[in-house]
Each structure stands twice: as structure tokens, then as C-alpha cells.
Amino acid sequence: MKVYNVIQTSNCDGEILVNVTPCADLHSAQAIMDDEIRTLISEGKYSGLDVDDDDADCSYTLERSDTSFYIDCLYDDYYERIEIEEKEIVKIG
């Protein structure tokens, strides 16, 4: 059996925060990732940034795929990384 972990790592002015959300399937994990991205661009540091426009703002580095998202503020100590990691559930005993 597999689990899909949505791992979000946030650097907020030098403070590193990590959140992991386990999901039963890839589709659910992608939905969680998309929801987190919507939250990121609707409030706070990245508010109003168009993550679908590669030329939206040159002060950010932005990378996105079906299973990952990364945004880095080039002139400040902030970034967000979201990755979907597939893992096998192991039963011991």
C-alpha cells in the first residue's frame, strides 16, 4: 500500500517550518498542494503573485510541476517548497 506525503517547507525570515500531510492517492495529494498554493498567493508575502506567469515578477524564482512547487524571494529570506513524495507503507510484525 502506498501513501503520498505532501511536504511543505517554509522559510519565514530565516525560521524553517515543515508540515507533512499524508494522502491516500496522488490525486488527493495534488489537490492539497494546489490548495496550499492558492493560500500562499492569496495572503501574506506572495499575495497577488501570478504563479502561472513566468514573467510575473522578476524578484521571485518560481518552479512548478505536477508534484512540486517552489517559490523563492530573491531579495529576502523567504521561500516555500511543496513536494509530493510517494512512500510505501510498511507493516512490521
Contacts of 85 (CB under 8 A, 6+ apart): 4, 5, 7
- Of 16, 1, 23, 9, the C-alpha closest to 83 is 9
- Per-residue pLDDT band at 57 (split at 50, 70, 90): low
Radius of gyration for the alpha carbons in the chain, expressed in angstroms and rounded: 15
Of the listed ranges 6-15, 34-43, 51-60, 74-83, the least confidently predicted one is 51-60
The residue that leads in pLDDT, 5 or 91, is 5
Cell numbers for 74: 530573491
Phi first, then psi: give them for residue 11, nearest 5 degrees.
Answer: -110, 110
In the predicted model, is pLDDT for residue 25 greater than 60? yes
Give the pTM: 0.85
Region for residue 65 given its phi and psi (left: phi exceeds 0; alpha: psi -120 to 50; beta: otherwise): beta
> What's the rounded Cα separation, in Å, for the pair 7 and 15?
16
Say what the pLDDT of residue 60 is. Answer: 81
